[in-house]
Structure 1
Amino acid sequence: YYQALLDIDLLQKGQPYDLLPPTFIIFICVFDFFEKGNYVYTFKKRCLENLKLELPDEATTMILNTKGTHGDISQDIKSFYDYVNNHIVTTDFTKQIDDEISYLKLDTKVRREFMLMEARLLDERREGEAVGIAKGKEIGLVEGEAIGLAKGESKEKLATAKRMLAKGCYSLEVIAELTNLSLADVEKLKEEA
Structure 2
Amino acid sequence: MPKQYTITPLSELSLKSDFMFGQVMRSEEICRLFLEALLGIEIQRIEFLDRQKEMSDSYEYHGIRLDVYLKDDKGTVFNVEIQADRKDDLPRRVRFYQSGIDRNELPKGADFASLSESYIIFVCDFDYFHIGKAVGERIAFLKDTNVPYEDGSHVYFLNSRYTEANAGKPILEFLDLVRTNDLEQPYETPLGQMARERIQEVRSDKALEVSYMTYAQKMMDERRVGYMDGLEDGRAEGIEKGMEKGFKDTIIALKDILDPTVIAERFKISMEQVMDILNQK
Shorter-chain TM-score bucket reads: 0.5 to 0.7
Contact 2:141 2:147 in 1 (8 A): yes
Q: CA deviation at 1:25?
A: 3.6
> 1-side partners of 2:146 and 2:176: how far apart?
35
Q: Deviations over 1:114-135 (max 9, x none)?
A: 3322222211111111111111
Residue pairs, 1:78-157, within 5 angstroms: 78-86=172-180, 87=182, 88-91=185-188, 92-142=190-240, 144-145=241-242
| Aligned amino acid, residue 105 of structure 1 | R
Higher strand proportion: 2
Q: CA deviation at 1:93?
A: 2.3
Contact 2:135 2:157 in 1 (8 A): yes
Q: 1:18 to 1:131 in 2, by over 3 A?
A: farther
Q: Deviations over 1:90-124 (max 9, x none)?
A: 21321111122222223344443333222222111
- Residue equivalent to 1:67: 161
- Residue equivalent to 1:58: 153
> 2-side partners of 1:84 and 1:25: how far apart?
18
Q: CA RMSD in A?
A: 3.7
Higher helix proportion: 1
Instruction: Give 5+ residue unaligned stretches, structure 1.
Output: 146-193
Contact 1:23 1:59 in 2 (8 A): yes
Length-normalised TM-score, structure 2:
0.40
> How many residue pairs end up in the alignment?
143
Is 65-74 or 107-116 further displaced after alignment?
107-116
Contact 2:127 2:162 in 1 (8 A): yes
| Aligned amino acid, residue 133 of structure 2 | N
The structure with the larger Rg is 1
